[in-house]
């Protein structure tokens, strides 16, 4: 089943996979902690074989005990006699740094042995806010110490990037609709050698681009023209298959302990195909792939004529809320791109 899903991801240009690193590892000894990574290797190799890696995106080292504003927890593996269990502890529990001081170096050695160190990214905490950046920075420091050279990556609020996050998070992923007036900050970040991606989640709506079910498909295709327009180099994909019990009938599942109703299409862009142990692609996913292919063509043109590629991107997407809305007009811009590549 995992191989089937990996093939669909690759077919639609996904090239990075969120990987449950801790769940795929095995704690062999507690006295002098030793870890096995056979299941982790099987996971990575399955996605590599399908063409969906790319990059390995290590799961978040810190989570929450429920909803968005619940206390932070750090999952670790505990051995109790012959039993190993996964426990979620407060970040300031002394067992947390002891575990990470053992697990992360073991992971680092394994990545180096497999030749995967250069394609591994590490999440710390999704959407850190309030007082959470303090714990974020503490855990990120351990990750940077024990996974040297591995970039940290997370969804962050470009309007509120405390100093702790500026140093601890390497690849910033702000939410579309929340950084219209922070373009200069993000450009400064890029000039300093850092990548900037972006994502959508619940928002934005209205005049912004997104891939919601009741949005024109052109808005979905233009998401990746926006990438080129602003020099953003990744799209964090929420969500791919966060289904409720009946995804064919209900496209608005709930999240955060059933407190938040997600807008239609926000939570998933594929549908379950149980008979084939796979998924059906949505028409929105088809439109997203078309946009990614346009991005690939813009990147190809930029190699020999960056000004022409930028001009076409601006013609399609003048700003975050000003872009071509008429499909025939968009096709004319796309035709210019194809003709420029043909010369």
Question: Considering the domain boundaries, does residue 24 fall inside one?
Answer: no
pLDDT above 90: residue 103: yes
Domain range for 319 = 205-343
Please indicate, yes or no, if residue 337 is contained in any of the structural domains.
yes
Supply the mean pLDDT for the chain.
Answer: 96
Domain count, the chain: 1
Give the pLDDT band (50/70/90) at residue 84: very high
| Predicted local confidence at residue 13, as pLDDT | 96
Q: For residues 71 and 104, what is the distance between their CA atoms, to the nearest angstrom?
A: 23
Report pLDDT digits (tens) over 106-128.
Answer: 999 999 999 999 999 999 999 99
Which strands make up the sheet holding 83-89, listed edge to edge?
A: 63-64, 72-80, 83-89
> Does residue 217 fall inside a structural domain?
yes
In a domain, 194, yes or no: no
Residue 268 inside a domain? The answer is yes
Q: For residue 165, give the nearest of 148, 153, 177 by alpha carbon.
A: 153
Q: What is the pLDDT of residues 261-314, one digit of tens each?
A: 999 999 999 999 999 999 999 999 999 999 999 999 999 999 999 999 999 999
138-156 average pLDDT score: 98
Tell me if 25 is assigned to some domain.
no
Residue 257 scores a pLDDT above 80 = no
Note the pTM of the prediction, 2 decimals.
0.96
Angle at 187 between CA 184 and CA 189, to 5 degrees: 110
Report long-range pairs for 148-151 (Cβ below 8 Å, ≥24 apart). 148/108, 149/117, 150/108, 150/111, 150/117, 150/120, 150/121, 150/122, 151/121, 151/122, 151/195
Is 63 a domain residue?
Answer: no
140, part of any domain: no
What's residue 32's pLDDT?
83
Q: Is 30 a residue whose pLDDT tops 80?
A: no
């Amino acid at each position: 089943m995992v191989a089937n899903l990996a093939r669909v991801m690759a077919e639609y240009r996904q090239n990075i996979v969120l990987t449950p690193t801790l769940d795929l590892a095995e704690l062999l000894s507690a006295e002098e902690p030793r870890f096995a990574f056979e299941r982790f290797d099987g996971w990575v190799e399955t996605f590599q074989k399908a063409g969906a890696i790319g990059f390995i995106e290590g799961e978040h080292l810190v989570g929450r005990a429920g909803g968005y504003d619940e206390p932070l927890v750090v999952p670790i593996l505990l051995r109790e006699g012959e039993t190993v269990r996964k426990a979620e502890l407060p970040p300031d529990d002394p067992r947390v740094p002891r575990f990470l001081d053992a697990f992360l170096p073991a992971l680092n050695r394994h990545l180096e042995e497999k030749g995967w160190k250069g394609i591994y990214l590490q999440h710390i905490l999704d959407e850190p806010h309030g007082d959470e950046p303090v714990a974020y920075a503490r855990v990120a420091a351990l990750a940077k110490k024990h996974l040297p050279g591995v970039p940290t990556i997370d969804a962050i609020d470009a309007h509120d990037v405390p100093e702790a996050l500026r140093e601890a998070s390497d690849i910033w992923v702000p939410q579309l609709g929340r950084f219209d007036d922070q373009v200069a900050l993000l450009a400064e970040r890029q000039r300093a050698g850092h990548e900037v991606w972006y994502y959508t989640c619940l928002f934005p709506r209205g005049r912004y681009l997104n891939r919601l079910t009741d949005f024109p498909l052109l808005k979905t295709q233009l998401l990746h023209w926006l990438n080129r327009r602003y020099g953003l180099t990744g799209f964090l994909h929420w969500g791919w298959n966060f289904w409720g019990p009946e995804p064919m009938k209900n496209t608005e599942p709930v999240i955060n302990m059933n407190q938040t109703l997600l807008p239609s299409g926000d939570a998933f862009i594929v549908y379950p195909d149980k008979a084939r142990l796979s998924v059906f692609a949505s028409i929105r996913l088809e439109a997203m792939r078309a946009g990614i292919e346009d991005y690939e063509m813009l990147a190809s043109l930029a190699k020999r004529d960056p000004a022409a590629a930028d001009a076409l991107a601006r013609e399609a997407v003048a700003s975050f809320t000003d872009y071509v809305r008429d499909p025939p007009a968009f096709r004319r811009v796309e035709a210019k791109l194809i003709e420029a590549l043909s010369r």
